[in-house]
């Protein structure tokens, strides 16, 4: 769709672009002191001049994108797309991707890679999502990585356990940013975990009480602003993408639910174009009991639906069998065999009921700082290693 530019030599073009590419384009154009519309013009022109199109680019989650191009260029571009048998969205994504690859950052920085995104989830409550999220985030930070730990659960257990206040309702937070109502930079809500062990590399995005209404708020936003065709499932990505350049790993502690917010987290964990298999994906803590198997099947079904609906890959990074106690007899031991026999996802660790975990929570201290040599801390390091293929 195109409409004329006020002075007549350009026309407004309405197409679609994935948020990841939109953000990279914005940053690179600024780094090169270019207008975005000139960058897109160069991208489209260069792509059309290629003997054939480039490799396919992941366009899932593409959202409305407008820019101004020289009159006639968009019609020529559409004709090229038709000749190459690709959609206009795919053609634009290929153009922009290639332009980014051929116009590197002048700062000499290597092309920005997406941070690894580890989504710790299970709609069953009390299985250890928060313990595992906190533990692996600490482990990555201990290893020298810059880590953002996201308390995505309005219960706010993770924030509480690290001694950080939750954000009161109505204030700027991840929730307001997911709903397009963010007022200031989301970075302003981030808290650095002040513990010498992590040398300021471990950051927390605290929970917000508004999160209890998140599913409803995302749904309303998608309807209200349908002109921009906002996709519900990319709400988390839209909020976090502005922070991604600051981190090597983002760990998300999910709530015990399977609603729209959960879909947004699963969608955020999908494998992006060029991203290695198993660097982002889901980690699922489970218990060695039958109800955990039922919960797992429901979650796996939801993941499968998303994969099909959006033609995306979501990698299983692994299972964690938590609070395991063989003294519970055949239910526990046969259930553990069941988890191990699944094979894919594989079991990253089997963890007993360990006192250091409960003590660290009571002391509101990071486990790896409170009891760095405990079995529980070692288990967290093992999971972190296993979840980065």
Ligand X SMILES: Nc1ncnc2c1ncn2[C@@H]1O[C@H](COP(=O)(O)OP(=O)(O)OP(=O)(O)O)[C@@H](O)[C@H]1O
CB of 366 to ligand X, least distance (A): 13
Q: Could you tell me which stretch among 3-11, 127-135, 240-248, 340-348 binds ligand X (CB under 6 A)?
A: 127-135
* Closest CB to ligand X among residues 40, 251: 251
Q: How many other C-beta atoms lie within 10 A of the C-beta of residue 187?
A: 11
Distance of CA 185 to the CA centre of its chain: 18
Of 323, 336, 368, 371, which one interacts with ligand X (CB under 6 A)?
323
* Closest CB to Mg ion among residues 129, 271: 129
Dist CA 352 CA 360 (whole Å): 16
Task: Give the burial class of 33: count Cβ atoms within 10 A of its Cβ; 0-12 exposed, 13-18 middle, 19 or more buried.
Answer: exposed
User: DSSP letter at 201?
Assistant: -
Quick note: the x/- pattern for Mg ion over 127-146, rule CB under 5 A, is --xx----------------
Place of tokens 């290929």: 94
Q: Are 95 and 32 in contact (CB under 8 A)?
A: no
Of 269, 292, 322, 335, which one interacts with ligand X (CB under 6 A)?
322
Number of residues in contact with Mg ion under rule CB under 5 A: 3
157 makes contact with ligand X (CB under 6 A): yes
* Closest CB to ligand X among residues 117, 129: 129
Number of residues in contact with ligand X under rule CB under 6 A: 19
Output the six-digit token pair for 313: 């890959």
201 makes contact with Mg ion (CB under 5 A): no
* Closest CB to ligand X among residues 40, 367: 367
CB of 183 to ligand X, least distance (A): 28
328 makes contact with ligand X (CB under 6 A): no
CB of 154 to ligand X, least distance (A): 10
Q: Could you tell me which stretch among 37-45, 260-268, 269-277, 350-358 binds ligand X (CB under 6 A)?
A: 350-358
CA atoms within 13 A on the CB side of 136: 32
Dist CA 13 CA 308 (whole Å): 30
* Closest CB to ligand X among residues 241, 320: 320
322 binds, among Mg ion, ligand X, none (CB under 5 to 8 A by kind): ligand X
* Closest CB to ligand X among residues 95, 322: 322
Report which of 300, 303, 304, 318 is spatially closest to residue 265, judged by C-alpha positions: 303
276 makes contact with ligand X (CB under 6 A): no
User: DSSP letter at 341?
Assistant: H
Q: How many helices (H) and strands (E) does the chain have?
A: 15, 11
CB of 369 to ligand X, least distance (A): 15
Dist CA 214 CA 207 (whole Å): 12
Strand 116-120 and strand 249-253: the pairing is parallel
358 binds, among ligand X, Mg ion, none (CB under 5 to 8 A by kind): ligand X
364 makes contact with ligand X (CB under 6 A): no
Q: Are 358 and 110 in contact (CB under 8 A)?
A: no
288 makes contact with ligand X (CB under 6 A): no
Report which of 282, 286, 361 is spatially closest to residue 323, judged by C-alpha positions: 286
**Largest pairwise CA distance in the chain:** 79
357 makes contact with ligand X (CB under 6 A): yes
Q: Could you tell me which stretch among 59-67, 126-134, 200-208, 226-234 binds ligand X (CB under 6 A)?
A: 126-134
Of 21, 127, 230, 368, which one interacts with ligand X (CB under 6 A)?
127
Residue 345: cis peptide before it, omega within 30 degrees of 0: yes
Q: Report the DSSP beta bridge partners of residue 208.
A: 167
Q: Are 149 and 205 in contact (CB under 8 A)?
A: yes
Residues lying near ligand X in the complex (CB under 6 A): 125-131, 153, 155, 157, 256, 322-323, 351, 353-354, 357-358, 361
């Amino acid at each position: 769709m195109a409409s004329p530019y006020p002075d007549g030599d350009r026309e407004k073009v309405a197409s679609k672009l994935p948020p990841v590419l939109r953000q990279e384009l914005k940053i690179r154009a600024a780094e090169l002191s270019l207008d975005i519309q000139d960058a897109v013009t160069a991208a489209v022109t260069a792509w059309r001049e290629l003997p054939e199109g480039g490799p396919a680019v992941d366009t899932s989650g593409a959202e409305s994108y407008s820019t101004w191009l020289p009159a006639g260029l968009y019609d020529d571009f559409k004709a090229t797309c038709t000749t190459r048998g690709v959609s206009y969205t795919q053609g634009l994504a290929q153009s922009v991707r290639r332009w980014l690859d051929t116009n590197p950052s002048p700062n000499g920085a290597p092309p920005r890679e997406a941070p690894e995104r580890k989504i710790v989830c299970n709609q069953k409550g009390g299985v250890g999502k928060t313990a595992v999220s906190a533990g692996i985030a600490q482990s990555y930070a201990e290893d020298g990585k810059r880590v953002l730990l996201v308390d995505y659960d309005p219960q706010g257990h993770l924030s509480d356990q690290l001694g950080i206040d939750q954000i009161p309702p109505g204030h700027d937070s991840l929730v307001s940013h997911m709903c397009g109502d963010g007022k200031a930079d989301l970075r302003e809500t981030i808290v650095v975990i002040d513990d010498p062990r992590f040398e300021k590399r471990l950051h927390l995005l605290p929970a917000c009480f508004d999160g209890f209404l998140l599913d409803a708020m995302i749904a309303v936003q998608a309807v209200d602003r349908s002109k921009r065709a906002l996709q519900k499932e990319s709400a988390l990505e839209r909020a976090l993408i502005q922070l991604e350049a600051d981190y090597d790993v983002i760990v998300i502690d999910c709530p015990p639910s399977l609603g729209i917010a959960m879909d947004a987290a699963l969608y955020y964990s999908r494998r992006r174009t060029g991203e290695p298999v198993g660097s982002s994906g889901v980690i699922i803590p489970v218990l060695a009991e039958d109800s955990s198997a039922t919960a797992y099947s429901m979650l796996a079904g939801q993941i499968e639906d998303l994969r099909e609906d959006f033609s995306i890959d979501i990698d299983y990074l692994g299972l964690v069998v938590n609070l395991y106690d063989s003294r519970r007899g055949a239910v526990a031991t046969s259930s553990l065999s069941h988890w191990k026999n699944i094979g894919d996802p594989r079991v990253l660790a089997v963890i007993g009921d360990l006192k250091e975990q409960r003590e660290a929570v009571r002391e509101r201290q990071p486990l790896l700082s409170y009891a760095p040599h405990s079995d529980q801390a070692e288990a967290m390091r093992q999971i972190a290693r296993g979840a980065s293929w």
